[in-house]
Amino acid sequence: MNYLEVSYISSACGKNKYEPVDKTILTLLARSNPKLIKRLLIEGGYITVVNENEKLYDKQLKNIYSKYKKNVTDVTKIEDIRDEIIEKLKSDNKDIKDSDISKANEFLESSLKKDCGTNNESSVIKRMKYKKGNNFMQRYNFNDSWELRGFHDASIDNAVIEIKTRTKFSNIRKNEYDLYQIFGYLLTMNKTKGKIVQKYQDHIFDSDEMNDNEFGLIDISQEYWKTKFETFKNELSEFFHYVDYILGDIENRFNIIDSIKEIDIPIAVLCNNVPRNVNNNYEKLIKILF
């Protein structure tokens, strides 16, 4: 059976401008036919092949970053940490090119934000006395062909909790893509109540009431949320039908150029058939293919 992670639902339903729907479809196609997608990506120049003697810095960068990864919790220090790592990389490699520094910056910008969010989850759970999740893969058969899968952050009483760490105060807001993610967990866990909790620095936004910046307690047994939940399910159903159609003839029904931003090309380079310099935005795709 094919599957979609709950974290990709907002992209699948066209609610996340940072994760276009075509990019998510490409990942699903890769799971179904990895040999074909791998060939198309290489032939199209989305993945390039480099000489084995070419100097690459991704392994060294990740080794340096590993010493910081678990301690990134303060959003106000992310840029300082990034600059510190870049300076260390440059001091250890006097001849490093500007293009390699640019790739390193892209990796660090993405990784620092992601790990800062992950590291902050535990502190929020402890402070708010939630029950920690992420210990069990939730599964739900959406139809005969597709399954939803995901790990939820936490819960309290009968409500599912999704925790979001914000890097700016202006980002404390109601995002439709967050709402669709919590809908996904309600579906997979057979729950009716959920909440999106936001953290910025030492402030935790956990209101039960809807306001300008928070959805409050989401209860799909209530008419207002029930209507939105039904719309969500209909949109997800349409997405799965569309992917099934593409799977019937991938080469003629899907154009890879629509799923990868020109600025991201190449998304990886192959050195001795091993992917290197992998763009963080396509890490999952590359792991599927190699």
Q: What is the pLDDT of residues 52-94, one digit of tens each?
A: 888 999 999 999 999 999 999 999 999 999 999 999 999 999 9
Looking at the DSSP assignment, which residues form a beta bridge with residue 205? Answer: 198
Give the residue ranges of DSSP H helices in 77-215. 78-92, 98-128, 176-189
Per the CB < 8 A criterion, the answer to whether 148 and 157 are in contact is no
pLDDT for 53: 84
Q: What is the pLDDT of residues 119-145, one digit of tens each?
A: 999 999 999 999 999 888 999 999 999
Tokens of 82: 């990034």
pLDDT category at 114 given cuts 50, 70, 90 is very high
Per the CB < 8 A criterion, the answer to whether 26 and 32 are in contact is no
Strands 2-5 and 146-150 come out as parallel
DSSP reduced 3-state for 169:
helix
Mean pLDDT of the chain: 96
pLDDT for 135: 83
Name every residue whose Cβ is closer than 8 Å to that of residue 207 and which is 6 or more positions away in sequence.
Answer: 214, 216
pLDDT category at 113 given cuts 50, 70, 90 is very high
Name every residue whose Cβ is closer than 8 Å to that of residue 230 and which is 6 or more positions away in sequence.
Answer: none
Whole-angstrom Cα distance, residue 41 to residue 98?
Answer: 26
Model confidence, pTM: 0.92
